[in-house]
Amino acid sequence: MDIFIPAVIVLAGYVWLVLRANRTFHAIRKERFEHTNSAGVLEFSTYEELHAFEKREGHNKLWINLSAVPGGVIPLAAIFAIIASVVEMS
């Protein structure tokens, strides 16, 4: 029981992180689509808007990479901890 609750919290946090990164990814894709002209060039009215967009895009890529590559081990360990706790309780 000592491991069960933290493992569930870690697993829920990981799911939340993946869902939030996915939602942000689709919002960035929509913004990219809305700022692309008919020639396929990304246009912004000011440099600050471009910089803010690129910054959001970079942060989202970082979170997606963190959740996919090293973060894939964390939920797997949490699932194993939950299974071990359930087996131990029975």
19-68: per-residue pLDDT in tens? 888 899 999 999 999 999 888 888 999 999 999 999 999 998 888 887 77
In the chain, the N- to C-terminal Cα span, in Å, equals: 11
Given 3-state DSSP classes, what are the helix, strand and coil percentages for the chain, each rounded to the nearest 5? 80, 0, 15
Whether the pLDDT of residue 87 is over 70: the answer is yes
Q: Supply the pLDDT for residue 1.
A: 64
Q: Supply the pLDDT for residue 28.
A: 92
Q: Supply the pLDDT for residue 18.
A: 84
Read off the pLDDT of each residue in 9-27 and give the average, rounded to a whole number: 89
Q: Supply the pLDDT for residue 17.
A: 84
